[in-house]
Chains A and B, each alone.
Chain A
Amino acid sequence: MSDIITIMKKELKRFFSDKRILLSLILPGVLIYVMYSFMGSIFENVFSGNKDYTYIIAEENKPDSFDDVLKRTGIKYEIKKAENEEKAKADIKDGNVDIYIKFDENFDEKTSENAVPSVEVYYDSANVNSQTAYTLIYSALLERSVKVTPVYLVNAGEESYDLATKQELSAMMITMMLPFILMIFLFTGCMAVSTESIAGEKERGTIATLLVTPVKRSHIAIGKILALSITSLVSAVISFIGLIFSLPKLMGGEATGISLSAYGFSTYIGTLGVIIVTVLLFTVILSIVSALSKSIKEASQFAMPVMIVVMAVSVLSMVNQGAANTNWWAYLIPVYNSAQCISGLFSLSFNSLFFVITVISNIVFVGLGVFALAKIFNSEKIMFNK
């Protein structure tokens, strides 16, 4: 036991005392938060309009009845009369005006006479603000058009026709994305430290010095895997926190009704449990890859196909709109079971049996992996063949 602790302490010292490694563990989580929050605000601006921006609208022949239509878009705007069509179009291209709306003359009169007047909306799709203004104003005009001269009405009342609660909407959107993204971050976090560990020892020749000590091969394997798992877990938890706080922002935040308030403390504790066993599993897999490789470079190359498999298995969680699999045997499949368990936790349909199967099966796989790694340490062909 003291051998395992000695090996663990040495590995942990290396990871947590080296500023570069430490930074590589913390940075992904921070970057996820910053990047997704930033991307979310861009998407929100595109789909809901930039709240800090005043859109300049040039109009021609606008009836007063359309002021209400523009207000419904929810954007800040300033209207000015267009001198003529050519000038308005030039202003759009120059960025002085975001959108130009040209109504037929006597628009309201034509409407009341059952004639079909037209509205032409000019914009510049290469300009984000112009494109956003077009998207919002076009749909507001379309809505008004249907109400004024309807062929038939669909969901034309003021009430909400979507019966999903805010919680359910949050759950669906988050469960579609979270398992896949989380699995990728967990794997890359493990990859950052695990691929180097044993292949690095082989490359430096220190593995021979380690293997001629009286320490059991299995103790070396356990010591290394525990240290790598603890390190990867730190990275995983930081990434998870960054992800969970930034995901609602990425998906539109308040505008789409996605919120973390849908989840309780138990959801996060359950997720932490799944993260721990998944990190252990990834660490074992990558340690085996590392042990089978002749160099760090080769280990990184071998880890890539494994990552593609993890991505492929995780992406299955997005099938069926994030709803978790209800077959118990599916929770025996490594990686897939973790993704499904997280789906279950965040879709508010947590099943404790599936959770237990996932945890136990992953621990069994980890045990088998440790056994395999100890065998690899005994294989001269793998450890010393150059």
Chain B
Amino acid sequence: MEEILKVEGLKKTFKLSRKQQKTEKLADRTKVAVNGISFSAYKGEIFGLLGPNGAGKTTTLRIISTLIKPDDGDAFIDGVSVVKNPDKARAKLGFLTSELKLEDFFTPDYLYDYFSSLHGVEKSVAAERKAKLFDRFGITEFAHVKIGDLSTGMKQKISLVISIVHDPDFIIFDEPTNGLDVITAKTVTDFLIELKNLGKTIIISTHIFSLVEKICDRVGVIINGKMVLIGKLKELTELKPLEDVFFDLYLKESGENV
């Protein structure tokens, strides 16, 4: 199997404000968000990062997507270091977060062209790809409608399309179906499977077990900044459902009963 992503010993500690320290109920003003995470993702697979809120999933994905730098460790996308060569690494990845809210003023058509241009996609290639993606997601008839006038589901589809304007081989989705209605969520998950079948490597972070069970090939469980389990979904769920596997681990690692 061709290794597309290699994550080696990522560590990240955040300094907290007094307010954050109080909210997090921590003894000192630092929080270890990621503590030595290592894993790999291979060509044509969907890798799911599973964990509770605040476990370190988003921080891990932000490091891989070059948005933040690790204190230690590195990640390599197709052999390119995100620490030493972030500009080159960015050209190889697509990134989508559920936090993204596109500007109401623009149309899907304009935003697609804008991000295509920033990714350096040739105009004729961009136009052809735009037509395909818009058609695939039913965006075509809304292509010239302002984002502000579209439904939440349509906005999320447009965000998804915009994150892959440059047809990257490696795609990161942070909580891809968060806040979506069931129909849009299905469209998105079906598309992720389609992308996988096209040979793309996808990493998703989520806390939705059913989503992982439906689309992921392999799963990594992050609890308190540590990767406590990595394995093939089929092997992990041979004896019991993923949810039970997760909560057994959670009890063991955090000492908290749910």
Q: Does B119 contact A (CB under 8 A)?
A: yes
Q: Tell me the residues in window 353-384 of chain A with beta carbons closer than 8 Å to chain B beta carbons.
A: 380-381, 383-384
Which residues of chain A have C-beta atoms less than 8 A from B88's C-beta? 214
Q: 1/0 per position for A234-277, CB-CB distance to B under 8 A?
A: 00000000000000000000000000000000000000000000
- With A and B bound together, what is the CA distance between A7 and B117 in angstroms? 9
Q: Does A110 contact B (CB under 8 A)?
A: no
Do B62 and A6 touch across chains, with their CB atoms under 8 A apart?
Answer: no
Q: 1/0 per position for B151-164, CB-CB distance to A under 8 A?
A: 00000000100110
Given contacts A6-B118, A10-B114, are A212 and B100 in contact (CB under 8 A)? no
Q: B69, B95, B99: which contacts A212 (Cβ < 8 A)?
A: B95
The interface residues of chain A, by DSSP majority, are classed as: helix
Q: 1/0 per position for A1-25, CB-CB distance to B under 8 A?
A: 0110011001001100110000000
Which residues of chain A have C-beta atoms less than 8 A from B106's C-beta? 10, 13-14
Which residue of the partner chain B has the closest CB to A378? B69
Do A214 and B68 touch across chains, with their CB atoms under 8 A apart?
Answer: no
Which residues of chain B have C-beta atoms less than 8 A from A205's C-beta? 97, 99-101
Which residue of the partner chain B has the closest CB to A223? B118
Given contacts A212-B90, A214-B91, A216-B87, are A384 and B67 in contact (CB under 8 A)? yes
Which residues of chain A have C-beta atoms less than 8 A from B68's C-beta? 380, 384
Which residues of chain B have C-beta atoms less than 8 A from A13's C-beta? 106, 110
Chain A min CB distance to B190 (Å): 23
Do B100 and A208 touch across chains, with their CB atoms under 8 A apart?
Answer: yes
Q: Does A72 contact B (CB under 8 A)?
A: no
- With A and B bound together, what is the CA distance between A213 and B69 in angstroms? 16
- With A and B bound together, what is the CA distance between A384 and B15 in angstroms? 13
Do B67 and A211 touch across chains, with their CB atoms under 8 A apart?
Answer: yes
Do B119 and A6 touch across chains, with their CB atoms under 8 A apart?
Answer: no
Q: A204, A206, A209, A214: which contacts B120 (Cβ < 8 A)?
A: A214
Q: Does B75 contact A (CB under 8 A)?
A: no
Which residues of chain A have C-beta atoms less than 8 A from B99's C-beta? 205, 208
- With A and B bound together, what is the CA distance between A384 and B66 in angstroms? 12
Q: Does B93 contact A (CB under 8 A)?
A: yes
Q: Does A304 contact B (CB under 8 A)?
A: no
Q: Tell me the residues in window 110-131 of chain B with beta carbons closer than 8 Å to chain A beta carbons.
A: 110, 114-115, 117-120
Given contacts A3-B118, A18-B105, A213-B118, are A208 and B110 in contact (CB under 8 A)? no
Q: Does A215 contact B (CB under 8 A)?
A: yes
Chain A min CB distance to B164 (Å): 11
Q: B65, B67, B100, B117: which contacts A206 (Cβ < 8 A)?
A: B100
- With A and B bound together, what is the CA distance between A211 and B90 in angstroms? 9
Which residues of chain B have C-beta atoms less than 8 A from A206's C-beta? 100-103
Which residue of the partner chain A has the closest CB to B92? A214
Q: Does A210 contact B (CB under 8 A)?
A: yes
Chain B min CB distance to A115 (Å): 82
Chain B min CB distance to A374 (Å): 13
Which residue of the partner chain B has the closest CB to A20? B105
5 closest Cβ contacts across the A-B interface? A380-B68, A205-B99, A213-B118, A204-B101, A205-B100
Taking beta carbons and an 8 Å cutoff, which residues of B are in contact with A?
14-15, 62, 65-69, 87-88, 90-91, 93, 95-97, 99-103, 105-106, 110, 114-115, 117-120, 159, 162-163
Additional A-B contacts beyond A206-B103, A214-B119, A380-B62 (15; CB < 8 A): A3-B117, A7-B118, A14-B105, A18-B105, A205-B100, A206-B101, A209-B95, A209-B162, A211-B67, A214-B118, A215-B118, A380-B67, A380-B69, A383-B67, A384-B68
A-B contact pairs, 30 of them (CB 8 A): A6-B118, A7-B118, A10-B106, A13-B106, A17-B105, A204-B100, A204-B101, A204-B103, A205-B101, A206-B100, A206-B103, A208-B62, A208-B65, A208-B67, A208-B95, A208-B97, A208-B99, A208-B100, A211-B66, A211-B67, A212-B65, A212-B93, A213-B115, A213-B119, A214-B87, A214-B90, A214-B119, A380-B62, A381-B15, A384-B67
